[in-house]
């Protein structure tokens, strides 16, 4: 007998009549997240967390959208510092709920379009212009999806050790948005004189929340991170490797 595949719908976002909250820092958004499985349909109201001490600052949309813990129909993991304590109960981050839905197989929506919807609920207000020098470092399929290179961090080569390079990859939901950390690509490299070669690529495990979802999205798009970088991107990586492997100058004593 063939196994019956579970059919899921969503998640998606729908209008919801706002309900009052017990603290000023939590504002109703008039939006709910909904999803459905064979076990039933669920809808949870969403709120915006706007702490007073950050009212005039940039506050990432990943941290800004929360929901009441008491409405959660199952157990989930989330980072302690993302929990908002309030007199009417704890509020948990939407990012952790979305990651849990995908982990449980209760989400069918494509990840990147869904995260663009999330950003539309609480738009980012970027306090500075995004640099464009990151363009062209990844293959077109990755860059057209919104991914960009952030920071290559190579380990220095040492005798008897296969050094790694860790490269932070960012993602933005639209061209005017801020680059947020998405995933870390890691692979071994070897250096002999000016020659540098790469091997054994892998994606590092993402943090709970949107980085976990974005790592899932980019690894589905580019399974081996070695295939992520353009010739210009590999040249930038080689420059960083050469820099960390420069002979150290002896310290001068006075």
Residue-level length of the chain = 254
**Cα separation, 228 vs 149, whole angstroms:** 10
**Cα separation, 180 vs 165, whole angstroms:** 20
Give the residue numbers spanning the domain of 156.
140-244
Among 121, 155, 177, the domain-final residue is 121
Task: Report pLDDT digits (tens) over 47-97.
Answer: 998 876 554 444 454 568 999 999 999 999 988 888 999 888 999 999 999
Q: Can you give the pLDDT at residue 107?
A: 94
- The answer to whether residues 112 and 156 belong to one domain is no
Among 121, 150, 168, the domain-final residue is 121
β-bridge mates for residue 145, sequence order: none
- The answer to whether residues 51 and 99 belong to one domain is yes
Q: Can you give the pLDDT at residue 132?
A: 52
pTM summary value: 0.84
Q: Can you give the pLDDT at residue 151?
A: 82
- Taking every pair of Cα atoms in the chain, the longest distance, rounded to a whole number of angstroms, is 82
- The answer to whether residues 108 and 154 belong to one domain is no
Copy the structure tokens of residue 245.
């492997």
- The answer to whether residues 104 and 159 belong to one domain is no
Q: Can you give the pLDDT at residue 129?
A: 47
Mean pLDDT of the chain: 85
- The answer to whether residues 171 and 115 belong to one domain is no
**16 or 55, which is more confident?**
16
Residue 98 in 3-state DSSP? helix
Task: Report pLDDT digits (tens) over 116-137.
Answer: 999 888 876 555 445 555 789 9
Task: Report pLDDT digits (tens) over 226-240.
Answer: 999 999 999 999 998
- The answer to whether residues 87 and 144 belong to one domain is no
Asked if pLDDT for residue 38 goes beyond 60, the answer is yes
């Amino acid at each position: 007998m063939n196994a019956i595949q579970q059919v899921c719908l969503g998640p998606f976002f729908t209008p919801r009549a706002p309900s009052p909250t017990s603290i000023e820092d939590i504002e109703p958004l008039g939006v709910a997240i909904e999803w459905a499985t064979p076990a039933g349909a669920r809808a949870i109201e969403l709120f915006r967390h706007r702490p007073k001490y950050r009212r005039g600052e940039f506050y990432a949309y990943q941290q800004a959208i929360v929901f009441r813990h008491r409405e959660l129909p199952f157990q989930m993991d989330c980072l302690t510092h993302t929990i908002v304590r309030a007199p009417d109960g704890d509020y948990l981050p939407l990012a952790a709920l979305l990651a849990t839905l995908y982990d449980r197989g209760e989400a069918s929506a494509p990840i990147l379009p869904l995260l663009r919807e999330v950003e539309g609920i609480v738009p980012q207000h970027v306090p500075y212009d995004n640099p464009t020098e990151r363009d062209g470092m990844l293959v077109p399929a990755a860059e057209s999806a919104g991914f960009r290179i952030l920071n290559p961090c190579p380990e220095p080569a040492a005798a008897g050790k296969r050094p790694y390079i860790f490269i932070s990859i960012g993602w933005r939901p639209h061209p005017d948005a801020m680059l947020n950390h998405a995933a870390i690509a890691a692979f071994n490299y070897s250096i002999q004189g000016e020659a540098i070669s790469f091997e054994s690529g892998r994606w590092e495990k993402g943090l709970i929340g949107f980085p976990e979802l974005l790592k899932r999205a980019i690894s589905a798009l580019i399974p081996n991170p070695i295939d992520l970088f353009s010739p210009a991107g590999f040249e930038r990586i080689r420059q960083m490797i050469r820099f960390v492997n420069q002979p150290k100058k002896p310290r001068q004593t006075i």
